[in-house]
Amino acid sequence: MINTGLNNLSNDNRFFFITRPINGQYENNMTEIFSLLRYGAAGSTLIAGILHLSLVANAIDRNFNTGILFLIGGLAQVFWVLPTIRGWNKVWYYVGIGGTLTLILIWVITRFPGNPINGRGGSIGETAIAVEVFQVAFIVLCIIILTKDRKVRK
């Protein structure tokens, strides 16, 4: 069997293996990988938050409550960049995932006619799809960080 440097790693670590030649040996640079994952998650929630904030001006004229939801949700998502990048601890990730899932659930429910939130089915626009994609990306990246990063699992 050819020694690729992967033979000594557990299956969990093979997922994130990056090879860097050092004196003929290969080193596992997990810190760099988790840093990139944290930046990706932070960027996702930042973009979703900015998109939510961009919707406030139009929404607040038509429906004050929706405008406030976009404002609070957008500000929370923009703030969440800080604990995500810094990797404060797992509670921050769980709360971020829960809040983002709540926003996604509200969006999904309000797409159906006769829903209990506003009683009518909302349209599905390009901005809404972009927001949902970035929110799902945030959740997926946070789950990966929570399951793989020992620093955050404390």
The mean pLDDT value of the chain amounts to: 83
- The upper half-sphere exposure of residue 135, i.e. CA atoms within 13 Å in the direction of its Cβ, equals 28
Q: What is the pLDDT of residue 132?
A: 96
Q: Are 141 and 47 in contact (CB under 8 A)?
A: no
Do residues 154 and 57 make contact, with C-beta atoms less than 8 angstroms apart? no
Quote the pLDDT of residue 20: 53
Domain ranges of the chain: 11-148
- At 94-117, the pLDDT tens digits run 999 999 999 999 999 988 888 887
pLDDT at 151 over 80: no
Residue with tokens 């994609």: 133
| pLDDT value, residue 9 | 53
Global pTM value: 0.78
Task: Kindly report which listed range (28-37, 62-71, 141-150) carries the lowest average pLDDT score.
Answer: 28-37
Residues contacting residue 42 through CB under 8 Å, at least 6 positions apart: 80, 81, 84, 85
| pLDDT tens by residue, 8-26 | 555 555 555 555 555 444 3
